[in-house]
Chains A and B, each alone.
Chain A
Amino acid sequence: MSMNRRQFLKIAGLTTIAGVGGPVIVAGMKERLLEASELVDVPERSGALTAQRWGMVVDMSRFRTEADRQKVIDACHHIHNVPDFGNPKDEIKWIWPETYEHAFPGREDEYMPHALKEMPFLVLCNHCANPPCVRVCPTKATFKRKDGIVMMDMHRCIGCRFCMAACPFGARSFNWRDPRGKDAQGRPFIRKENPEYPTRTIGVVEKCTFCTERLAKGLQPACAEASDGGLVFGDLEDENSDIRNKLRNHFTIRRKTELGTSPSVYYVIGGAEHV
């Protein structure tokens, strides 16, 4: 095959462009991808709580009354400026009760104790090891940190709500309207602002963050702190942690494990006496 000068120059030019441009583009992409490559480093500030994989055990034997649950919910919702719109359509929640049959659909048995079937379990973001919400987010606004926490970047969220469609646990809420607004009676949706923590704005998705802001200060998550031992928070990868001890000594269940997301929140149904 012979080629004339013109053809040669064309091919040579294209090769050069591919040779020079290709790596530049690839390097650029790599940088972009690495910037929020799935796993992001854990906090290393002195005094910060760190872990390989944060997890939680909800011990239902410690949540016998509504007051037990409410104080935990209030602690979280107050500290994070979670608004209360007073209607289910706009509702935003980070941690809340669902009865057994709704928290664990498909697991209810026909003749199980009525009390158990109706028992309100505290549900929250499961901080899955394999989170579908992170997989679908088109901007990496939701991502997984190296310590297992599935985090939200409210600055970057475009409000497409793909993560809400993808989360099998209904853990995500959307700001359908301004959380800083007031209702018809002039009452603010955020009853009492916590000036130490931001609110959110219209059109972003939010959820539980396992209190990353408190972990950085060496504090337990607000819910765990308020729970009197009902919520055990700790490192799932550390054999000697309280949480592993709890898991070793109790029969625990997780929500919808068949979907392969591997939740990091475990439930103890009875007290130790039932094992």
Chain B
Amino acid sequence: MFEKALQGNKSYWIWIFVLLAITGAGFLAYLRQFTYGLGVTGMSRDVSWGFYIGQFTFLVGIAASGVMLVLPYYLHNYKKFGRLVILGEFLAISAVIMCILFIFVDLGQPRRVMNVMLHPTPNSVMFWDMVVLVGYLILNVVIGWTVLGAERKGTPPQGWVKPLIYLSIAWAPSIHTVTAFLYAGLPGRHFWLSAIMAARFLASAFASGPALLIILALIIRRVTRFDPGKEAIQTLGKIVTYFMLTNVFFLGLEFFTAFYSGIPGHIHTFEYLYAGIEGHDKLVPLMRISSVLAVVAVFLLIFPKIRANETMLALASVAVFISLWIDKGFGLVVGGFIPNMFEKVVEYWPTGLELLISLGVWAIGLLVLTALYKIAISVKEEVEL
């Protein structure tokens, strides 16, 4: 089926080459980081994880959210998702690849990355994160490819795929739970040390992932002859609505515990993120944008009539995606380090090179996504027409 990705019209190839160019620029930037060290980033002794790990965390959520299509379709036999399910699985593949790349560019000694497998360490959450991410990648590749191949031949998928699909449904929440455990088990990082972290991660994942899928589905409908289905998109809208509300609710719980208990360690990071501490307020504008977008999104989503309008749904989805991208892809990780272990405020801001490398990773992800979607849609068009 690979050949489908190599047959496209002019705009397809322009898009591919734009992505390749960005990837190339990102790669050159990475070479600079490789020789100079991670000092080219904005990270420091005090804020030792930054944009890369933030993006990783956010993208694990996007990857996990594929289950929001797989589960209704396979467990509840919700046929309306039949046309979308493969898009969810392929989005997961692209997201996991980006996750792995973001971890890779964040390593100080990337050449030693195999040490994680040479010296397996079950007491480290990072070891398990590697296990679940690689497992999830393999599951989605195998399932997506097999099911699509069967569809092309007009036969039902092979029997052995079914158990794998059920496994992948259970596996999806695990990848994001384990990612939350990276943070939620560290003594002394009060902002992260919260039992609700994994739940909050899942809620934001199941809002931001389907929101991205809505946007992608609408784009696909516009640029191809394939229509993912109006009703399927509306169902995704409902999923986004419920999980966005859950996410806002969970964030509210964090605020309550921090501010009602009045324990300084629990309050400080929230203060830093949303108001600034003693004039240190680099993240405040971003976090406020995130909050405003969240409110706008909830307003647009909560009324079925507004949501039924696809333009409004698209707007709401963009708002959800950007809001959560800021909240999880930036604020959550950086916020955990501020104030530092000495209760001093040392701020962080990504450098241009850091952003360029990140952009390169996103370009690779989009490249993979484009190729996979091209294959999936070509097959669907071929079968239907």
CB of A199 closer than 8 Å to a CB of B: no
Q: In the complex, what residues of B have CB within 8 A of residue A136's CB?
A: 124-126, 186
Give A100 to B201 CA distance when docked, in angstroms: 37
Q: Are B341 and A176 in contact (CB under 8 A)?
A: no
CB of B120 closer than 8 Å to a CB of A: yes
Taking a contact as CB atoms closer than 8 A, the residue among A101, A161, A170 that contacts B340 in the complex is A170
Q: In the complex, what residues of B have CB within 8 A of residue A141's CB?
A: 115
Give A176 to B36 CA distance when docked, in angstroms: 8
Q: In the complex, what residues of B have CB within 8 A of residue A36's CB?
A: 119
CB of A16 closer than 8 Å to a CB of B: no
Give A178 to B342 CA distance when docked, in angstroms: 26
Q: Are A89 and B126 in contact (CB under 8 A)?
A: no
CB of A174 closer than 8 Å to a CB of B: yes
Q: In the complex, what residues of B have CB within 8 A of residue A138's CB?
A: 115-116, 121, 124, 126-127, 130
Taking a contact as CB atoms closer than 8 A, the residue among A102, A139, A165, A260 that contacts B115 in the complex is A139
Shortest B40–chain A CB gap in Å is 8
Q: Are A165 and B49 in contact (CB under 8 A)?
A: yes
Q: In the complex, what residues of A have CB within 8 A of residue B337's CB?
A: 165
CB of A32 closer than 8 Å to a CB of B: yes
Q: Are B37 and A158 in contact (CB under 8 A)?
A: no
For window 99-124 of A, CB contacts with B under 8 Å fall at 101-103, 105-106
Q: Are A159 and B109 in contact (CB under 8 A)?
A: yes
Q: In the complex, what residues of B have CB within 8 A of residue A169's CB?
A: 188, 341
Shortest A143–chain B CB gap in Å is 10
Give A162 to B333 CA distance when docked, in angstroms: 12
Q: In the complex, what residues of B have CB within 8 A of residue A157's CB?
A: 108-109, 112
CB of B265 closer than 8 Å to a CB of A: yes
Give A166 to B49 CA distance when docked, in angstroms: 12
Which residue of the partner chain B has the closest CB to A136? B124
Shortest A113–chain B CB gap in Å is 20
Shortest A207–chain B CB gap in Å is 11
Give A164 to B47 CA distance when docked, in angstroms: 9
Q: In the complex, what residues of A have CB within 8 A of residue B346's CB?
A: 88
Mark B330-342 against chain A: 1 for CB-CB distance below 8 A, else 0.
Answer: 0000001100111
Shortest A14–chain B CB gap in Å is 15
Interface size class of B (residues with CB under 8 A): 35 or more
CB of B262 closer than 8 Å to a CB of A: no
CB of B222 closer than 8 Å to a CB of A: no
Which residue of the partner chain A has the closest CB to B193? A259
Q: In the complex, what residues of B have CB within 8 A of residue A270's CB?
A: none
Q: In the complex, what residues of A have CB within 8 A of residue B110's CB?
A: 158, 203
Give A13 to B258 CA distance when docked, in angstroms: 57
Q: Are B341 and A203 in contact (CB under 8 A)?
A: no
Q: Are B44 and A176 in contact (CB under 8 A)?
A: yes
Q: Are A165 and B48 in contact (CB under 8 A)?
A: yes
For window 87-109 of B, CB contacts with A under 8 Å fall at 103, 106-109
CB of B1 closer than 8 Å to a CB of A: no
Q: In the complex, what residues of A have CB within 8 A of residue B328's CB?
A: none
Give A156 to B116 CA distance when docked, in angstroms: 10
Give A156 to B108 CA distance when docked, in angstroms: 12
| Known contacts A170-B46, A174-B45, A203-B37; A160/B187 CB under 8 A | no
Q: In the complex, what residues of A have CB within 8 A of residue B103's CB?
A: 160
For window 130-173 of A, CB contacts with B under 8 Å fall at 132, 135-141, 156-162, 164-170, 173
Q: Are B112 and A161 in contact (CB under 8 A)?
A: no
Q: In the complex, what residues of A have CB within 8 A of residue B121's CB?
A: 137-140
Give A137 to B182 CA distance when docked, in angstroms: 11
Give A141 to B127 CA distance when docked, in angstroms: 13
Taking a contact as CB atoms closer than 8 A, the residue among B48, B125, B182 that contacts A174 in the complex is B48
Q: Are B187 and A259 in contact (CB under 8 A)?
A: yes
CB of A204 closer than 8 Å to a CB of B: yes
Give A204 to B110 CA distance when docked, in angstroms: 11
Taking a contact as CB atoms closer than 8 A, the residue among A105, A160, A178 that contacts B37 in the complex is A178
Mark B128-171 against chain A: 1 for CB-CB distance below 8 A, else 0.
Answer: 00100000000000000000000000000000000000000000
CB of A71 closer than 8 Å to a CB of B: no
Which residue of the partner chain B has the closest CB to A133? B186
For window 30-86 of A, CB contacts with B under 8 Å fall at 32-33, 35-36
Shortest A164–chain B CB gap in Å is 4
Q: Are A135 and B124 in contact (CB under 8 A)?
A: yes
Which residue of the partner chain B has the closest CB to A137? B124
Shortest A40–chain B CB gap in Å is 14
Taking a contact as CB atoms closer than 8 A, the residue among B122, B183, B188 that contacts A168 in the complex is B188
Which residue of the partner chain B has the closest CB to A93? B45
Q: In the complex, what residues of A have CB within 8 A of residue B11's CB?
A: none
Q: Are A88 and B37 in contact (CB under 8 A)?
A: no
Q: In the complex, what residues of A have CB within 8 A of residue B336's CB?
A: 165
Shortest B28–chain A CB gap in Å is 19
For window 170-197 of A, CB contacts with B under 8 Å fall at 170, 173-178
Give A201 to B112 CA distance when docked, in angstroms: 13
Which residue of the partner chain B has the closest CB to A155? B112
Give A127 to B341 CA distance when docked, in angstroms: 16
Q: Are B182 and A162 in contact (CB under 8 A)?
A: yes
CB of B382 closer than 8 Å to a CB of A: no
Which residue of the partner chain B has the closest CB to A166? B186
CB of B189 closer than 8 Å to a CB of A: yes
Q: In the complex, what residues of B have CB within 8 A of residue A162's CB?
A: 124, 126, 182
Shortest B131–chain A CB gap in Å is 11
Give A47 to B362 CA distance when docked, in angstroms: 57
Q: Are B342 and A98 in contact (CB under 8 A)?
A: yes
CB of A29 closer than 8 Å to a CB of B: yes
Q: Are B186 and A160 in contact (CB under 8 A)?
A: no
Which residue of the partner chain B has the closest CB to A160? B107
CB of B305 closer than 8 Å to a CB of A: no
* Extra contacts besides A138-B121, A259-B188 (10): CB < 8 Å: A88-B45, A106-B264, A139-B115, A139-B121, A140-B119, A160-B106, A162-B126, A168-B187, A176-B44, A203-B108
Q: Supply 8 A–B pairs (Cβ within 8 Å), ascending by A.
A: A132-B187, A157-B109, A157-B112, A159-B38, A159-B107, A174-B108, A178-B36, A204-B108
Q: Which 7 A-B pairs give the minimum distances between C-beta atoms?
A: A159-B108, A203-B108, A168-B188, A176-B39, A170-B341, A177-B39, A138-B126
